[in-house]
Amino acid sequence: MHVHRLEKIWLSIGISMLALFLVVIGATAFGMGMSPPSEHHHTIDPTQVTSTAPFDNPGLKQTGDNRYEAVMIAYAFGYEPQTLEVPVGATIDFTVTSSDVVHGFEIVGTNVNMMIEPGEVSHISHKFDKPGEYLVLCNEYCGTGHEYMKTTIVVK
């Protein structure tokens, strides 16, 4: 098979640009010290979620002045606890895991969005400045009852 000289030149330029791009991205990531999250990263046995602290007692507890920690478990077609009530201006630190399959954790109308994996403990914080009811939905398909998986955060 004969490849024209100009095609060889353009193929060489394209492959060279791709290689240069990969080298620059790799060097930048290495130089900036990028690595997978490990500081707050921890796992638990997904079959023992309900007997592992803090998931043995899910719910909302106050940790400071207008700051709360919400420990939640995502399971097939629901969240535990079903409803959370907090005052306006409260910051909630969410600690969430799953006991069965991959679930989503999205608070509609906010930028809170996590993927909840079995045994992986996920953390995110959000400050609720406006009163109202905030719907938490699963945005990862988790089975035939997926569309019923929700919980509510009531901000008073």
**What type of residue sits at position 16?**
S
For position 30, what pLDDT does the model report?
79
| DSSP codes of every residue in 130-154 | S-EEEEEE--S--STTGGG-EEEEE
User: Residue 126's domain is classified under what CATH number?
Assistant: 2.60.40.420
pLDDT tens digits in sequence order for the chain, 156 residues long: 788 999 999 999 999 999 999 999 888 887 777 666 555 568 888 888 888 888 888 999 999 898 999 999 998 888 989 899 999 999 999 999 998 899 999 999 899 999 998 988 989 999 999 999 999 999 988 888 888 898 999 999
Task: Check residue 89 and give left, alpha or beta (phi > 0: left; psi -120 to 50: alpha).
Answer: left
30 shares its domain with 59: no
- The SS3 assignment for 17 reads helix
Total number of domains in the chain: 2
Q: Is residue 41 part of a domain?
A: no
| Domain that residue 86 falls in | 46-155
